[in-house]
Chain A
Amino acid sequence: MPLVLYMDLNRCIDCRACEVACEREHAGGANIFVQRLEDRFAFPLNCRHCETGFCIAVCPTGALKRSAHGTVELSAMECIGCGQCMLVCPFGAIWFDAHDKIARKCDFCAHRLELSLDPACVATCPAKALDYGELSDLISSAIIKKGHTIIHRAAGTSGTLITLPHSRQTETFPAGRES
């Protein structure tokens, strides 16, 4: 079974600890970016390791390929920095490393998995918004949290399982109050 990343967006607190952990794990370049939406939600954006990898399809050198874990991996040695993958990524999760002139993206911390360690973002998340594992296990544990909408396979994104947050109040300080 392929490994997938799980994000419970009900639990993301916008602390960006995953970014900092990823940056530390990848020699100063983070591959996960916490996005804040309308000051009401935050979500970590990284490579979704799509089931249908447009990036894999367009890569002219075969630098992007499916790994043994079922994730999408990028071989830095084979990347020529053409940027095609960045153009087709539906999530904008691939970035250009101007120093090394190659594409960069989440590698699912393959080097940590080899040592039986969790991906750095998962290990660090203080709110336990992030997890990873086999899809079937994650779905059954995520479904237990009833009332949450679970998104997977949307746009062929089997690589990432997401629990969407409940709607949140948008009310701000009562307008018209004397300041």
Chain B
Amino acid sequence: MTNPITDLASSDCILVIGSNFAANHPIISRYALDAKSAGATLILADPRFIPTAWHADLFLQLLPGTDIAMLNGLMHVILSEKLYNQEFIERRTTGFDALKKSLQAYPPERVANETGIPASKLIAAARAYANAEAASIVYCMGITQHTYGTDNVIDCANLALMCGQIGRPGTGVNPLRGQDNVQGACDMGALVNVYPGYQSVTDETVRMSFAQAWGTEADQLPAKPGKTVVEMTHAAEQGELKAMLIMGENPVVGDPNSSHASHALEELEFLAVMDLFLTETASLADVVLPVAGFAEKRGSKTATDRRVQWFERAIPPIGECKPDWRIICELATDLGFGDAFNYENEEDILAEIQSVTPIYAGISAARIQNILGGIAWPCRSIESPGTPILYTEAFSKPDGRAVFKPVEHQASAEETSPEYPLLLTTGRVVMHYNTGSMTRRTRSLLNREPETFVQVHPQTSESYGIGEMDQVEVITRRGRLEAEARTTKNIPPGVVFIPFHFPETNLLTIDALDPVAKIPEYKVAACRIARVGPAKEGA
């Protein structure tokens, strides 16, 4: 996020795209609702009328995969009504002319046809966002999990830049990260192309400085990007990858086209899994290393708004489980790298992070152990208060100016056809978390949402002779599942929604990737549906 979570409360207009924060980031609701009580306009763009939409002043119901058409449509309105921020554009950006040109093709009428959003609503949303004193964009996986996910994100930035809605309180481009420390994992270089602090692996000087810090030679460190999660399973399937160590990840349930993922893992010569539970993935492993749960660990975590906070453990680890870092250090020691992994405690690790990660240089354990609410990076010195709001003065470009990058609406990897006439989209429910490795083991949550379901519009169920709660099968080119049908007018006709927390769903999804971020297109696939039997007894 460019702005702190709490900042949302001071926004005059919040444009939410592809996020059901009422279900998936409930705490975001608190600040969005505070803004709303203070008079802010809440706009939600989503294919489904979800609980987040209950609170929206304007609901833009778009068909899955039409986000760029919508964003470009909003910008077209802002351009033609001259609602953009000329002063901001001139002072802080470049490339506006190219953007202007690309927007010509997105008049509201065409966008209405493409997205399903009435032109009047699109115009109202554009005016509300552009005219607000401070307007914020909040987005989540509804826009990232596409083969053009990167372009979707770029277009959000285009919109914010065009209206100068960035770099001030209550504004910004705010992606909601899913896990308590996933931002920290990215910051630490748990990505294929960067060292900690987003320093490129292909940069010779960066490599030299890490070699020096770690007491080795630059040629011992990788000089080119590695493989992303889905690329790894593809490589394993082709026999190119021989062994894997999987930490806190459950690809057998979570990977797209998951029957391939399980097959790929079975092909490996060796698989070790570190997890809290014997997940579907851990069941395939040669060795399972039990790790401590969140309440059994201490150290720093970085939240979605770049806030680095210190946590103490509530209880000591139970049984033979250990904090992840201890397991990693012990493995490294056994492999002969003991000297480089010689940490006494979590404070030692943060000290090394400070020394090799400029954006964390001022975030010491001693500081964040005493600052409730932590420090937001970049924090480049021990005196720095951190940077809760990014880009207040300059953008991270050599000339400090942001660059508009026009993007075009494009088709999803798989389109509907006579054989697969319906559009499958996946998402979440409030009771479950990711692949359910924890929540499907928590009785109070599982009792409330015991199994998966298939959500369709009554028009769709009627045309296939499906009654409420009937058992149905959903089939894509990759797989098949059976589940209970639930009809609702909250979803567009022709669209099928299935939550992905249960093992079957990703048998259906497509493993087509965004060319840049390599995120799979979980949000769009072509499917067909048929009734297989009556509602289960007792249902």
Contact = CB atoms under 8 A, between A and B. Distances in A.
B107 interface: no
B119 to A, nearest CB: 12
B33 A17 contact: no
Interface in B143-185: none
B29 A169 contact: no
Contact of A177 (B23, B27, B116, B430): B116
Interface in A124-179: 126-128, 145, 168-169, 171-174, 177-179
A145 B37 contact: yes
Contacts of A41: 54
A11 interface: yes
Contacts of B448: 16, 19-20
B444 A17 contact: no
Given A39-B49, A42-B51, A168-B54, A177 B26 contact: no
A101 interface: no
Contact of A15 (B26, B444, B457): B26
Nearest to A40: B54
Contacts of B494: 178-179
B250 interface: no
Contacts of A177: 116, 492-493
A174 B54 CA distance: 17
Interface in B106-133: 116, 118
Contacts of B488: 39
Nearest to A11: B33
A14 interface: yes
Interface core residue of A15, A177, A178, A179 (most chain B CB under 10 Å): A179
Contact of B49 (A17, A42, A172, A174): A172
A179 B26 contact: no
Contacts of A16: 430-431, 448
A14 B29 CA distance: 11
Contact of A173 (B30, B431, B489): B489
A141 to B, nearest CB: 12
Contacts of B29: 11, 13, 15, 126-127
Main secondary structure of the interface of A (DSSP, over half): loop
A53 B118 CA distance: 51
A51 interface: no
B412 interface: no
A84 interface: no
Contacts of B23: 13-15
A24 B26 contact: no
Interface residues of B, number: 33
Contact of A20 (B33, B49, B61, B445): B445
B70 to A, nearest CB: 15
A118 interface: no
A4 B61 CA distance: 39
A173 B51 contact: no
B276 interface: no
Interface string B477-519: 0000000000011111111000000000000000000000000
B490 A126 contact: no
B430 A179 contact: no
Given A126-B27, A173-B61, A13 B51 contact: yes
A179 B30 contact: no
Nearest to B121: A171
Given A128-B30, A179-B460, A169 B59 contact: yes
B49 A15 contact: no
Nearest to A173: B492
Interface residues of A, number: 29
B455 to A, nearest CB: 11
B79 to A, nearest CB: 26
A14 B489 contact: no
Nearest to B61: A173
B440 to A, nearest CB: 15
Interface string A61-101: 00000000000000000000000000000000000000000
Contacts of B288: none
Nearest to B445: A20
Contacts of A13: 22-23, 26, 29, 51-52, 54-55
Nearest to A22: B444
Contacts of B445: 20
Given A20-B445, A168-B54, A173 B493 contact: yes
B417 interface: no
A107 interface: no
B459 interface: yes
B118 A174 contact: yes
A172 B55 contact: no
Interface in B408-452: 430-431, 444-445, 448
A154 B55 CA distance: 26
A172 B487 CA distance: 13
Contacts of A11: 29, 33
Given A42-B51, A179-B493, A126 B30 contact: yes
Contacts of B489: 39, 172-173
Interface core residue of A13, A28, A168, A169 (most chain B CB under 10 Å): A13
Contacts of B55: 10, 13
A145 B37 CA distance: 7
Contacts of A14: 22-23, 51, 54, 430
Contacts of B52: 13
B430 A10 contact: no
Interface in B365-388: none
Contacts of B457: 173, 179
Contact of B26 (A127, A168, A174): A127
Given A173-B457, A179-B460, A179-B495, 4 more contacts: A39-B49, A177-B492, A178-B494, A179-B493
Interface of A: 10-11, 13-17, 19-20, 23-24, 28, 39-42, 126-128, 145, 168-169, 171-174, 177-179
22 contacts: A10-B33, A14-B22, A14-B51, A14-B430, A15-B51, A16-B430, A23-B444, A24-B444, A39-B49, A39-B488, A39-B489, A126-B27, A127-B22, A127-B29, A127-B33, A128-B33, A145-B37, A168-B54, A172-B489, A173-B49, A179-B493, A179-B495
Top 5 A-B residue pairs of the complex, sorted by shortest distance between their CB atoms:
A179-B494, A13-B22, A126-B26, A179-B493, A172-B489
